[in-house]
Chains A and B, each alone.
Chain A
Amino acid sequence: DAGVTQSPTHLIKTRGQQVTLRCSPKSGHDTVSWYQQALGQGPQFIFQYYEEEERQRGNFPDRFSGHQFPNYSSELNVNALLLGDSALYLCASSLDSTSTDTQYFGPGTRLTVL
């Protein structure tokens, strides 16, 4: 049973560029959440997707956008990259019956913005 997978594992971009990160949820899960984790900090919630819709959003600017596909996989897009966007980006999946199900995390994508 495959867990949550993310790609790529590492990425280096320059300021102003755009980036797309990908996530495949754990088998049987239909809900995907994205988090940003700066060095030495806990993960910060970006948004959550369920039934191909953004259901909830954290305090992140519109430069951060996402998408969920019919097979439940998801993408996170970040436009006009800033140095401060350098972080570990984590995807978590869950089986949403009540939205309180345990979230299982992928290994993350390390984004470095130069």
Chain B
Amino acid sequence: SQKIEQNSEALNIQEGKTATLTCNYTNYSPAYLQWYRQDPGRGPVFLLLIRENEKEKRKERLKVTFDTTLKQSLFHITASQPADSATYLCALLNYNQGGKLIFGQGTELSVKP
């Protein structure tokens, strides 16, 4: 069956450390994978997109990697801050499924001062 899964447990880290979030998928052939941030009761906010032929993308303190052999994407936030506390969602766009984004369940990140 097709699955997309993120860290099931909430992630608690200390301010200044690097947060690493995981997104694994099974039986999909993604054209690309996106990461979104979502605050409680709000809509997801787009952060980064990485295509299947890209290994790594960076934007300021954010880095995402994509390994199509392992069927995994990692999302890193370096020098984390309490303001980074939120739920992070990964979403993939599968080939031959048009514009249908398939989301993981999200990982809640809490950064303590």
- Where the two chains meet, the residues of A that have a C-beta atom closer than 8 Å to any C-beta of B are 4, 6, 31, 33, 35, 40-45, 48, 50, 55-56, 58, 88, 90, 92, 94, 96, 99-108, 110
Could you tell me if A100 and B99 are in contact, using CB atoms closer than 8 angstroms? yes
Could you tell me if B43 and A103 are in contact, using CB atoms closer than 8 angstroms? no
- Among the listed A4, A33, A90, A110, which residue makes an inter-chain contact with B99, where contact means beta carbons less than 8 Å apart? A33
Stretch touching chain A among B61-69, B73-81, B100-108:
B100-108
Give me 14 other A-B pairs in contact (C-beta within 8 A), A102-B34, A105-B44 excluded: A4-B43, A31-B99, A33-B100, A33-B101, A35-B103, A45-B100, A45-B101, A45-B102, A56-B97, A56-B98, A56-B100, A92-B101, A102-B49, A108-B43
**Complex Cα distance A58/B102, Å?**
10
B32 on interface, CB distance cutoff 8 Å: yes
Question: Chain A's nearest CB lies how many Å from the CB of B87?
Answer: 9
- Where the two chains meet, the residues of B that have a C-beta atom closer than 8 Å to any C-beta of A are 31-32, 34, 36, 41-46, 49, 89, 91, 93, 97-106
Could you tell me if A40 and B105 are in contact, using CB atoms closer than 8 angstroms? yes
Could you tell me if A43 and B32 are in contact, using CB atoms closer than 8 angstroms? no
A94 and B46 in contact, given A100-B31, A100-B93, A110-B41 (Cβ under 8 angstroms): no
B residues in contact with A40, CB < 8 Å: 105-106
Could you tell me if A104 and B46 are in contact, using CB atoms closer than 8 angstroms? yes
**Complex Cα distance A107/B43, Å?**
4
B residues in contact with A50, CB < 8 Å: 99
Could you tell me if A99 and B43 are in contact, using CB atoms closer than 8 angstroms? no
B residues in contact with A4, CB < 8 Å: 43
A residues in contact with B97, CB < 8 Å: 56
A residues in contact with B99, CB < 8 Å: 31, 33, 48, 50, 55-56, 94, 96, 99-101, 103
Could you tell me if B103 and A108 are in contact, using CB atoms closer than 8 angstroms? no
**Complex Cα distance A34/B31, Å?**
20
A residues in contact with B101, CB < 8 Å: 33, 35, 43, 45, 92, 103
B residues in contact with A106, CB < 8 Å: 43
Nearest to A9 among chain B residues (CB) is B41
